[in-house]
Amino acid sequence: MQRFFYSLLALVLLLPFQVFAQRSQAFQIHSHNDYLQTVPFWTAYAAGASSIEVDLILKDGQLMAAHEAESIDPKRTIGSLYLDPIAEGVKTGLVSTAQFHLLVDLKTEAYSTLEVLLKSMEDYRDVLFGAANPHGLKLIISGNRPKPSDYGNYPEYIFFDYQSKELGKELPWSKIGMVSLSFRQFSVWNGKGRMVEDERKSLQDFIDLVHSFDRPVRFWGSPDSKSAWKAFHEMGEDYINTDRPMEAADYLSQLPENVYQNNSVHEVYPARFAGDGADVPVKNVILMIGDGNGLAQISSALFTNGNQLNLTQLKNMGLVKTQAADDFTTDSAAGATAYASGEKTNNRAIGVDPEGNALENLPDLLDGFGFSSGIVTTDQLTGATPASFYAHHPERDDAEQIAAYLPKSKLDLFIGGGGDRFGAQLGDLQQAGFELVDGFGSWEAGRVGYFVAPGSLPKVLDGRGDYLLEATSSALGFLEKKGVPFFLMVEAANIDSGGHENSTGMIVTEMLDFDRVIGRVLRFADEHPGTLVIVTADHETGGVSIPQGDIESNTVELAFHSDDHTGILVPIFAYGAHSGDFRGVYENTAVFHKIMELVRKYYRD
């Protein structure tokens, strides 16, 4: 029954390990005082720990797993907690090779305790390291140890933990399994913020010294936090000391995904600010929506682009509340409907109120004031954000029904993916006056539609290139030539995807792509006084924070609280005519009403 329990427990614990093992493990964990875990050995093994510590006390001829005599439990021996589970794991195939060692910290006299330990190991010969079993289990003896001159008297599976700053070629290196010292010999750092540079250098020098003898190094009594794990990993500590092996392994294994270095810094357009905030007629309105783009996403792009962005030049800014009518946390459908119609609606609803009644959107309303309108997106055109500016449907996933609204819309221009969704509407679009083009250029038609891809567009990391910049530039040129005021919505959809996938690289590259387009739009606004540019988001995605980064190397680390949308306020920036009207903290619906107030101020219906 006990064997069955261990096997079942191991299977449960090893489920996360199977995922962990598929990642690139460029770090090693030391499970400190592992015998105090609820499930000793298997917790460390499931975390992929390379070094597993057990304190041993020789008591009445038995090797008890305990730190002091007062805490001895007769059931907790090195055999019951470690050697038996390992042997059973090897027998059942749960432990294929011993890619770990036991760090045995002797709390009683070294020679007598080792004598009993060696006798105990006779029952486990099949799993022990040796010439005939190069992948077998090694024991590294720590705590009370024999004299270094006696190290060679012990079996080949026994190694020793050397604990001194004095290192030399004369030491018995072939029997030294690692070098360990107290972290407090080097630093008083508590694992928060950053280590003092002099202390960090002292620690780094010792790590390098140990490595010069081709041996691993570990520090006990070290801070046990994410900041500490990352710092020790970057310094090259071979066995990172932790009492939380699962958490440490999960964090360190995700570092390659959570840290991103930008190697393509773009130049920032120097905005003129000549007409910024001017109380003049608004001739054009350009609404730019970074889907899922919160303050952390913007910050990550800033810190990886030489500490500058087109967006962060802007002086008029505010914060937007994003809640939906039926939920604290909005989705893109309700969020974009609020911007497009000025009304709160339920999540999943596009262009309708909570009762399902159609809401007038900005392109429809602005048509009555002589405006032309267009939408550009990196999403499919039936996606929630672009669809909210032409469709009226209670369910965002009903792509075919949503597509049927496009020929009926007041839009003069659309550019985006998802062309396969519109097969039944191609004739209706052409009858509505849309010329369906197959490339960017100087379009002369009255209405233009461009299905850039049959399905979804690739991400920047997958080779999308300058699509959004070219699409926005072509849209601006097309609408400008009409000689009438215009409204243009530009969506960068895949910042949201990066948040959902908890991908730092996707968030940074999509936001930087968006910022390049923002620079192009700011230049247009400077060249066309009376243009109002609004840059915001429908919601934040991922609950993103920035625990660390390095501005000099354009590197940032992101952490994620969620893989979904959050209810946090999102920034809004404005530039050009009446941009000062967008300062403050307000509901997402207010963006629509601010735009319409300006239109009604200067234009007659």
562: Cα within 13 Å, side-chain hemisphere? 12
CATH number of 2-14+26-260: 3.20.20.190
Predicted pLDDT at 17: 39
Residue of 143, 144, 140 whose CA lies nearest to 110: 144
Which 3 state secondary structure label does DSSP give 153?
helix
Q: Among positive and negative, which fits the CA dihedral 477, 482, 486, 488?
A: negative
Strand 565-566 and strand 540-541: the pairing is antiparallel
Asked if 332 is an active-site residue, the reply is: yes
Q: Among positive and negative, which fits the CA dihedral 539, 450, 418, 409?
A: positive
List Cα–Cα distances, 72 to 32, 42, 76, 80, in angstroms.
Answer: 18, 21, 8, 14
Predicted pLDDT at 21: 36
| Residue in this structure with the two tokens 């064997």, named with its chain if needed | 3
Predicted pLDDT at 7: 45
Predicted pLDDT at 97: 79
Residue of 275, 319, 250, 338 whose CA lies nearest to 588: 338
For the chain, how are helix, strand and coil distributed in percent, rounded to 5?
Answer: 40, 20, 40
What 132-138 contacts at long range (C-beta under 8 Å, 24+ apart), as own/partner pairs, is 135/97, 135/98, 135/99, 136/98, 137/86, 137/98, 137/100, 137/101, 137/102, 138/98, 138/101, 138/102, 138/177
Angle at 352 between CA 538 and CA 356, to 5 degrees: 135
Q: What are phi and psi of 527, to 5 degrees?
A: -80, -10
| CA dihedral of residues 376, 380, 384, 390 (deg, nearest 10) | 60
Report the amino acid identity of residue 420.
D
Between CA 14 and CA 48 the distance in angstroms is: 10
CATH number of 262-602: 3.40.720.10
Bridge partners (DSSP) of residue 449 are: 414, 436
Out of 51, 222, 300, 332, the active site residue is 332
DSSP run (H or E) holding 448: strand 447-451
The answer to whether the CB of 499 falls within 8 A of the CB of 542 is: yes
Tell me the three-class secondary structure of 260-317, residue by residue.
EECCCCCCCCCCCCCCCCCCCCCCEEEEEEECCCCHHHHHHHHHCCCCCCCHHHCCEE
Residue of 454, 467, 442, 363 whose CA lies nearest to 408: 363
Residue of 340, 471, 454, 469 whose CA lies nearest to 415: 471
The answer to whether the CB of 414 falls within 8 A of the CB of 450 is: yes
Report the amino acid identity of residue 311.
L
Other CB atoms closer than 10 Å to residue 114's CB: what's the count?
Answer: 24
Residue of 254, 203, 201 whose CA lies nearest to 19: 254
Between CA 207 and CA 217 the distance in angstroms is: 7
DSSP run (H or E) holding 592: helix 589-602
Would you give the end-to-end CA distance of the chain in angstroms?
83
Report the amino acid identity of residue 314.
L
**pLDDT per 10-residue tile (average), the chain, 605 residues:** 44 41 66 90 94 94 88 89 93 87 96 96 94 94 97 97 96 98 97 95 98 97 96 97 96 94 97 96 98 98 98 98 98 98 98 98 97 98 98 97 98 98 96 96 93 97 97 98 97 98 98 98 98 98 97 97 98 98 98 98 89
One fold for 2-14+26-260 and 262-602: no
Q: What is the b/e burial string over 552-590, where b = at least 16 CB atoms within 10 angstroms of the residue's CB?
A: eebbbbbbbeeeebbbbbbbbbbbbbbbebbeeebebbb
Predicted pLDDT at 299: 98
Q: How many residues appear in the chain?
A: 605
Where are the domains positioned within the chain?
A: 2-14+26-260, 262-602
Strand order in the sheet with 447-451: 434-436, 447-451, 413-417, 372-380, 486-492, 284-290, 531-536, 570-576, 316-321, 584-587
The answer to whether the CB of 118 falls within 8 A of the CB of 159 is: no
| Residue in this structure with the two tokens 């004369």, named with its chain if needed | 170
300: Cα within 13 Å, side-chain hemisphere? 35
Predicted pLDDT at 25: 52
